[in-house]
Amino acid sequence: MWFLLRAYRSLGRFDLAHLPENSPKDAQSLLVIGGTSDIGRACALLFAEAGFTILLAGRDKESLTREAGDIAARSGADVSVHPLDILETETFEDFIKNLPILPDLVLSVVGLLGDQTKAETDLLHARTIIRSNFEGPALLLGLFAEKFAARDQGVIVGVSSVAGDRGRANNYVYGAGKAGFSAFLSGLRNRFGKTGVHVLTVKPGFVRTRMTAGMPLPGPLTAEPVEVAKAIYRAAVVHPRNVIYVKPVWYLVMTIITLIPESIFKRLRI
């Protein structure tokens, strides 16, 4: 277990208290896919305060406009809004084409937890969960990866989940979507590993958001949206990383869980 403890200490060395720091010398831009989510808003504000031009994308144009105004007022950054439905994959090419600029960074924070019990018998609900967490985000980020490769520069950040590290009875439809998304990001990273395109996978663990409202969240394993934003900024801009767990303890937890033999794991409820 010594190597796990060593890795845990290494993961925990990041001081998140003084961000944004090491802001880019040249003006840069960030597109947030899922701009009205709690994590999306926190990231947009943090990057805006670091001098980034912000592009917010999402389904609810009214909410996007409201968030854009708030971020612009608090940061002085240029913020624009761009309607997007992550399930309407046929619109993705036009969405990218109609952006005012090709951003330097693209961050996907879209996702749908859904209802596991309902998804077990309602195929439409299960399909929506999987498409929201995997198909839509993966296909859109794949298109951006191609654009970034053409100019040999760009950062792709996908917020996945520890739920994708191993399937569990209480959320395996959601977890399957996130597992697919993590695998897709890993493939992109491998494909473009020798280019100027960087791919970052983020696994936050529990986060106190509207999506988890009412859930009994364990304090030591739960992050705040701003904490996730700071971890993303550091891993995408300050000290580039490939895969991060926002709470380093999750690295230990999930390593142990993935090492449990299937013959034992199938009898557990964790």
Helix, strand, coil percentages, rounded to 5, for the chain: 50, 15, 35
Q: What type of residue is 137?
A: P
Cα(114)–Cα(171) distance, integer angstroms: 9
Cα(186)–Cα(189) distance, integer angstroms: 5
Give the residue extent of every domain in the chain.
27-266
The residue behind tokens 């031009």 is 53
Residues forming a β-bridge with 81: 56
The residue behind tokens 């964790």 is 270
Cα(37)–Cα(247) distance, integer angstroms: 20
Q: CATH number of the domain at 27-266, please?
A: 3.40.50.720
Cα(168)–Cα(87) distance, integer angstroms: 25
User: What pLDDT tens digit does each residue of the chain (270 aa) get?
Assistant: 444 444 444 444 444 444 455 555 566 999 999 999 999 999 999 999 999 999 999 999 999 999 999 999 999 999 999 999 999 999 999 999 999 999 999 999 999 999 999 999 999 999 999 999 999 999 999 999 999 999 999 999 999 999 999 999 999 999 999 999 999 999 999 999 999 999 999 999 888 877 766 776 767 888 899 999 999 999 999 999 999 999 999 999 999 999 999 999 999 988
The residue behind tokens 């144009």 is 61
Cα(229)–Cα(179) distance, integer angstroms: 22
Q: What is the largest CA-CA distance in the chain?
A: 56
Residues 243 and 203 sit within 8 Å (Cβ to Cβ): yes
The residue behind tokens 């403890």 is 5
Cα(83)–Cα(231) distance, integer angstroms: 27
Cα(45)–Cα(52) distance, integer angstroms: 9
Cα(10)–Cα(248) distance, integer angstroms: 9
Residue 215 falls in which region: left (phi positive, over 0), alpha (psi -120 to 50) or beta: beta
Residues 246 and 202 sit within 8 Å (Cβ to Cβ): yes
Give the SS3 label for residue 198.
strand
Tokens standing for residue 142: 């794949």
- pLDDT given for residue 25 in this prediction: 52
Give the SS3 label for residue 170.
coil
Cα(213)–Cα(130) distance, integer angstroms: 21
- pLDDT given for residue 13 in this prediction: 40
Residues 82 and 265 sit within 8 Å (Cβ to Cβ): no
Cα(157)–Cα(133) distance, integer angstroms: 14
Residues 102 and 73 sit within 8 Å (Cβ to Cβ): no
pTM over 0.85: yes
- pLDDT given for residue 205 in this prediction: 87
